[in-house]
Chains A and B, each alone.
Chain A
Amino acid sequence: MDFLNAIILISNFIIVPAITYGSQLALGAIGVTLIYGVLRFANFAYGDLMAFGTMVVILFTWFLQSKGISFGLLPTALLALPIGILFTIVISLFFDKTVFEYYREKKSNPVTFIVVSLGIMFVLNAVVRIIIGPNDINFMDGHKFIIKAREFKQLTGLNEGLAIKSTQVITLITTIITCSVLFYFLNKTKTGKSMRAYSDNEDLALLSGIDPKKIILLTWVIVSILATVAGTLYGLDKSFKPFTYFNNLLPIFAATIVGGIGNPMGAFYGGFLIAFSEIALTYAYKKFFKYLLPESLEPNTLIQFISTDYKFAISFSILVIVLIFRPNGIFKGKVI
Chain B
Amino acid sequence: MKTFDIKISFSIMGLLIILVGIFQSWGVALSILNLCLISAVMSMGVNIQWGFAGLINFGVMGFLAIGGLATVLVSVPPVFEAWSAGGMGILVSGVFIIAVVFLLFFINKKFNEYKYKNYLIFIIIILSIPLLKLISGPSISKIESINAATSGFLGGMNLPIIFSWFFGALLSASVAFVIGKVCLGLRSDYLAISTLLISGIIISIVKHEEWLSRGVKNVIGLKRPAPYEVDLQSADWFIRLVEFLNTSKLSRIFDITERQDLLSQLVISSSGIFVKLCFALIFLLVVCSLLYLSEKALRSPWGRMMRAIRDNEDAAKAMGKNVVKQHLFIFMLGSAIIGFAGAMLVTYDGLFTPSSYQPLRYTFLIWVMVLLGGTGNNYGAILGAFVVWFIWIQSAPFALYVINLFTSQLDETNAIKLHMINSIPYFRYLMMGLGLLVVMRYRPMGLLPEKVLRK
Contacts and interface: CB of A to CB of B under 8 A. Distances in A.
- A/B: CB atoms within 8 Å of each other: yes
Interface of A: 41-42, 99, 102, 109-112, 114-116, 118-127, 129-131, 133-134, 243, 246, 250, 253-254, 257, 305-307, 309-310, 312-313, 315-317, 319-321, 323-325, 327
A42 B189 CA distance: 7
Contact of A123 (B183, B420, B433, B444): B433
B200 A118 contact: no
Interface in B359-408: 359-360, 364, 367-368, 371
A133 B422 contact: yes
A306 B129 contact: yes
Given A121-B364, A257-B190, A321-B125, A316 B429 contact: no
Contacts of A324: 182-183
Interface stretch (B201-209, B278-286, B290-298): B201-209
Given A310-B208, A316-B198, A114 B192 contact: yes
B440 A316 contact: no
A320 B433 contact: no
A115 B183 contact: no
Q: Give the dominant DSSP class at A's interface.
A: helix
A321 B118 CA distance: 9
Interface in B179-219: 182-183, 186-190, 192-194, 196-198, 200-201, 204-205, 207-208
Contacts of B118: 325
Given A119-B440, A310-B201, 11 more contacts: A114-B192, A116-B436, A123-B429, A124-B433, A129-B426, A130-B420, A243-B358, A316-B198, A323-B186, A324-B183, A327-B187
Nearest to B439: A119
A130 B423 contact: yes
A327 B429 contact: no
Interface hub of A119, A305, A306, A319 (most chain B Cβ within 10 A):
A119
A313 B433 contact: no
Interface residues of B, number: 49
Interface in B20-76: 56
Contacts of B368: 118, 122
A42 B183 CA distance: 17
A41 B189 contact: yes
A261 B189 CA distance: 11
Contacts of A124: 433
Interface in B148-198: 182-183, 186-190, 192-194, 196-198
B437 interface: yes
Contacts of A131: 423
B429 to A, nearest CB: 4
B288 interface: no
Given A120-B437, A306-B129, A111 B188 contact: yes
A305 B197 CA distance: 20
B2 interface: no
Contacts of B189: 41-42, 110-111, 114
Given A316-B201, A317-B201, A305 B129 contact: yes
B137 to A, nearest CB: 8
Contacts of A325: 118, 122
B429 A320 contact: no
B188 A99 contact: no
Contacts of B430: 122-123, 126-127, 130
